[in-house]
Structure 1
Amino acid sequence: MSDDFFLFDTERLGTLASEDTIKKGLSYFIENRVFALDAQENMLLAQVEGSKPDQPYWVELLRGEDGQLLVNCDCASGRPVCKHAIAALYSYAEQAGNQDGGEGIGNTMEEAIAERIKKGRNEVKVKLIGGNLGFGIWQATSLVSATHWQRSYQVHIRSLDARMNYCTCPDLASNRLGTCKHIEAVLHYAKKRPEYKKLKAKV
């Protein structure tokens, strides 16, 4: 897990808010409603456009003394973490990803893979439905899709290192990259599990 407190992936976001709130926050981020993002060591500030463009919400996210995320938002939604805060976290994750990628991603193919890694971390939830961490079948569901229907795909993990994995999504069939955001979501999830190091040690 990253040492960056405000860098949340799909799994960690799921501990903060309901799936519906996360989906709305992701939609706000995709619609470019987050601006004036200011990151400091233990505080994240942002303005997020709501239903009235001329009346954006101020969102303040703090790292509490107990290591918990504290949120203050003008929306007064009554929820500990609102959709505006989720949108701000997504915006911060994108900003951090752009900085990490600044070591000169060399070509279009690497950029396309990096984009799928980022989307897998932030936009897909996964569940093991058969087998084990290193050789199993997973269900991968996008939080937001081009349609209003949530689409789930099956991911078959054959290797934690080589691009030998398979997904039933149309992107993998057409992109010639050897991966997709669903596969990358599973790999991201797997690498955070304690069993991962044991599997790697056997290779």
Structure 2
Amino acid sequence: MFTGIVEELGEVVAVEQLEDASRFRLRGPLVTEGAQHGDSIAVNGVCLTVVEFGDGEFTADVMAETLKRSSLGALDVGTRVNLERPMAVGGRLGGHIVQGHVDGTGTILERSPSEHWELVKVGLPAHLSRYVVEKGSITVDGVSLTVVEVADDWFTISLIPTTLDLTTLGIKQPGDPVNLEVDVIAKYVERLLGADAKENEK
């Protein structure tokens, strides 16, 4: 489990295209400190498994399903990525509960800079809109954020200087894709309420 608090702005070092997957080598000296084979590291909000590591870099295999559901398939050598290690037991939950299971992708639509913060408008896929609420939590490229405003096909987020400086959201431009993970609690509530409705119909 992750919290959506990005630890490091890493970089894609190499991409190997396989028949039904891709293998990425990524640079992240902080997140690879003490890493072991099989550990999890979130890359732009996608939970990946460490295959090899050393010299501040690690490799991870990304299967076709993940490439289809996320923006990782668009990564190229030199691309900057958000990196986060899983939360340690007893650690602080600085953001919100993030699984690293991307629900879909959105697109940066607009950026409106202000003196001390920036408002970003993100396109929202129709199948995710019911899970996004004003002042609720959402994960964008692995960053835990609060929804400012939401409509059927878009939502806005406010980015403080720290987020702009230390994550990819400071450099993403209109037209760029972003990974979205909605609040898992909303999905469980929907599932449970649906089960109750079916039970009442019997």
Q: What TM-score do the two structures reach when normalised by structure 2?
A: 0.29
Q: Is the strand fraction higher in 1 or 2?
A: 2
Higher relative contact order (CA 8 A, sep 6+): 2
Q: Is the helix fraction higher in 1 or 2?
A: 1
